[in-house]
Amino acid sequence: MKEEIQLLLEEVKKKTASIISKDMIEDFRLEYLVKKGKITNLFTKMRDVPKELKKEIGKDLNELRKFAEESILELNDKFELQEDTNPGIDLSLNGRKKRSGSSHPISITISKMIEIFTEMGFEVAEGTEIEDSYHNFDSLNFPPDHPARDMQDTFFIKDDRDLVLRTHTSPVQIRVMENSKPPIRTIMPGRVYRNEAIDSTHLAEFHQVEGLYIDKDVNLAELKATMITFAKKLYGDNLEFRFRPSFFPFTEPSAELDIRKPGSDSWMEVAGCGMVHPKVLEAGGINSEEYIGYAFGFGIERITMLKTGIDDIRLLYENDVRVIGQF
């Protein structure tokens, strides 16, 4: 795997050195950086890497992707500068401010979380935003009369009540279990939907990153260590942590993770987690007598608000450049 990464790095270096136009930049992006590009395809091979090498290989992969992304950004700047200084331009025309762009705060948070978890040996899996009731509820141990199934909490597809806009990214966990053999170590980022009353802390559309680890020797202490390690990497070492008992249909036991900066009087809930319920393992086609696992879920908007200091979730979606331009 390391040899593949090194060979692809050399290929990327040669390719970027030969780019002489903006059209070639786009061709490069489509070949290497899109969902089925050469670099992205290497990430899918992480499942075959031995556990003890996943952290090292994940770091090399992230460095390769970062090099490719930074290279095309530099080339874009180079060609824009050439256009601006082209003597064929009529310099008597009114000046035009150079256009620039940046990633949205939510996208920045998701990218950072993926980077941290892939360095910890997790793969990335995505799923569809329209799910069937089995994968969204039944397979996750939601009873038939659970409130989340009500029209007040879930968006159902009008012409097919068996289809819903997924209320969490947990259905991806089931699909990963159905199509993979343990050990499984995967995160699932994506957009989810709930029929919420919109206010400063709630939206009907938001993002989650969930995680799943299944093997023969997994325990609660390992889950807590993973959560704390991730939080320290994202927020810094200067934090206090607490785990509160909670309830989720798909984990048992279950907990909420809170963080607090030393000296602060308030705790902030950042994630839910727990040991995967045996019924969920069985629904995913995994023998619960042989394997055990843990799962966790983070709300992206809440983490973004903590990182940026934004105090109203609606500001993240109003596209006001006075807000998002700061980040």
Work out the average pLDDT over 38-64.
Answer: 84
* Contact of 218 with 294, CB cutoff 8 Å: yes
Say if strands 251-260 and 123-124 run parallel, antiparallel, or are unpaired: unpaired
Query: Residues 172, 79: one domain?
Result: no
Q: Which residues contact 285 (CB under 8 A, 6 or more apart)?
A: 177, 178
Query: Is the residue at 117 inside a domain?
Result: yes
Residue 83 confidence (pLDDT): 64
Is 131 in the same domain as 73?
Answer: no
Q: Is 275 within the bounds of a domain?
A: yes
199 falls within a domain? yes
Contact 280, 174 (CB under 8 A): yes
Assess whether 62 and 123 both reside in one domain. Answer: no
What is the pLDDT at residue 124? 95
Same domain, 270 and 172: yes
- Domain holding 117: CATH number? 3.30.930.10
What is the tally of structural domains in the chain?
2
Q: Do 161 and 62 sit in the same domain of this protein?
A: no
At residue 90, the pLDDT reads: 60
Rg (CA), the chain: 22
116 in the Ramachandran plot: left (φ > 0), alpha (ψ -120 to 50) or beta? alpha
The model's confidence at residue 42, banded by pLDDT at 50, 70 and 90, is confident
> Do residues 79 and 119 share a domain?
no
**Same domain, yes or no: 147 and 43:** no
Res. 107 pLDDT band, cuts 50 70 90:
very high
Please indicate, yes or no, whether residues 188 and 296 belong to a single structural domain of this protein: yes
Q: What pLDDT, on a 0 to 100 scale, did the predictor assign at position 300?
A: 92
Q: Residue 197 belongs to what domain range?
A: 105-324
**96 falls within a domain:** no
239 vs 221: which has the higher pLDDT: 221
| 97 within domain boundaries | no
Are 127 and 207 part of one and the same domain? yes
3-state secondary structure the chain: CHHHHHHHHHHHHHHHHCCCCHHHHHHHHHHHCCCCCHHHHHHHHHHHCCHHHHHHHHHHHHHHHHHHHHHHHHHHHHHHHHHHCCCCCCCCCCCCCCCCCCCCHHHHHHHHHHHHHHHCCCEECCCCCEEEHHHHCHHHCCCCCCHHHCCCCCCEECCEEEEEECCCCHHHHHHHHHHCCCCEEEEEEEEEECCCCCECCECCEEEEEEEEEEECCCCHHHHHHHHHHHHHHHHCCCCEEEEEEEEECCEEEEEEEEEECCCCCCCEEEEEEEEECHHHHHHCCCCCCCCEEEEEEEEHHHHHHHHHCCCCHHHHCCCCHHHHCCC
